[in-house]
Homo-oligomer: A and B are copies of this chain.
Amino acid sequence: MAVLLEAFSQEYKRKIEDRMMEIVAGLDTPGSLKSAMSYSLEAGGKRLRPLLVLAVLRAFGKDPHIGLDTACAIEMIHTYSLIHDDLPSMDDDDLRRGKPTNHKVFGEATAILAGDGLLTLAFGVIANQEQARLNPKVAIELVAELSKAAGAEGMVGGQVADMEGEHRDLHLSELEYIHVHKTGKLLSYSILAGAILAGADEEKRKHLREYAYHLGLAFQIRDDILDIEGSEIKIGKPIGSDETNHKSTYPALLSLDGAKDKLSTHVHLAKEALLQTDFQQDILTEMIELVAKRDH
């Protein structure tokens, strides 16, 4: 199962991580800041977002390497958002992927600045590859869409909505708004970025947007299910915390079985969207299957 994806992931995960570390190591900046930025980038994770960029390029028959820097930029944005989310004034988390959170190691001020540094760097990484080889029109579209997906209209807006919804019961539509923005927009951007880099036409982008939408929601529903059924060791944080914190989740709103049904529906619709296109969808199909079955 997921044989192709596993081989693909094995080939590119390391390249993504090496390239990110190379970029940060090359920065002319105070050592403590560089350490704090590297610490969270190195902390591991599935690298789902950068792998999506490369998988979409492959689906279009392009060399995935042309998306490497864009993929790294997205992972930097994702990483900064985790650093800021974990802060005492936000989720106040001590552990992330089984390691102490950034502010626990480097202090709150440096953690905030490491996040700011990664966010700012991401845009530079996209822009600088233009100077190497990318068409500037492509590079600027990548910048414009990243700003939209990661900013107030996307991920940052979703984080605010999430905070505001914390202490009351949410309707399903409110829960969906939060997830579509907080997690979905950057996942969707990863897929869109691959399509932009591949020069995909509007018709293909439309189907990929649909795939991305269902992938994002499937990802989040699985997250909620894992908080009930998952293994603490594999996830790297305590399970059952959603219920303890009276957090609105899919299982809480729909029952555990209802959430599982909804997950299946999104997986089905994501696959359907891929079938509307004529590119090589094998790895993207395995990707949605993995998202739905992952144990961490």
Q: How far is the CA of A124 from the CA of B151 in the complex (A)?
A: 9
Q: Are B109 and A29 in contact (CB under 8 A)?
A: no
A139 contacts chain B at the CB level, 8 A cutoff: yes
A121 to B154 Cα, complex, angstroms: 11
Residue on B nearest A148 in the bound complex, by CB: B124
Is A3 interfacial (CB 8 A cutoff)? no
CA distance A121 to B139 in the complex (A): 17
Given A140-B139, A156-B33, A157-B33, verify A90-B117 contact (CB < 8 Å).
no
Interface centre among A80, A87, A140 (most CB of B within 10 A): A140
Residues of B within 8 A of A115 (CB): 116
Interface contact A117-B152, CB-CB below 8 Å: yes
* Chain B contacts for A143, CB-based, 8 A: 123-124, 126-127, 140, 143
Q: How far is the CB of A102 from chain B (nearest CB, A)?
A: 12
CA distance A152 to B141 in the complex (A): 24
Interface contact B117-A120, CB-CB below 8 Å? no
A10 at the interface (CB under 8 A from B): no
A252 at the interface (CB under 8 A from B): no
Separation in Å of the A27 CB from the closest CB of chain B?
5
Q: Is the CB of A147 within 8 A of B163?
A: no
One of A52-60, A130-138, A265-273 at the interface: A130-138
How far is B87's CA from A139's CA once the two chains are assembled, in angstroms?
A: 34
A side interface size, CB within 8 A: 54
For residue A244, CB closer than 8 A to chain B, the reply is no
Report the minimum CB–CB distance from A256 to chain B (whole Å).
29
A147 nearest in chain B by CB position: B124
- Whether the pair B121, A161 counts as a contact (CB closer than 8 A) is no
Minimal Cβ-Cβ distance residue in B for A34: B152
| Residues of chain B lying within 8 A (CB to CB) of residue A80 | 116
A157 to chain B, nearest CB (A): 4
The answer, yes or no, to whether A164 is at the interface (CB within 8 Å) is yes
Given the known inter-chain contacts A32-B160, A34-B152, A144-B131, please indicate yes or no for A109 contacting B123, CB distance below 8 A.
no
Say yes or no for A159: interface residue by CB 8 A criterion.
Answer: yes
Q: Measured between C-beta atoms, what is the minimum distance from A80 to chain B in Å? A: 8
Q: Which residues of A contact B (CB under 8 A)?
A: 27-30, 32-34, 37, 80, 84, 87, 89-90, 107-110, 112-113, 115-117, 119-121, 123-128, 130-131, 136-137, 139-141, 143-144, 146-148, 150-153, 156-157, 159-161, 163-164
With contacts A29-B156, A32-B160, A130-B140 known, what are 16 further pairs, Cβ within 8 A?
A30-B161, A30-B164, A84-B113, A113-B159, A116-B116, A116-B151, A117-B151, A120-B152, A123-B123, A123-B143, A123-B147, A124-B144, A124-B148, A125-B147, A127-B147, A136-B140
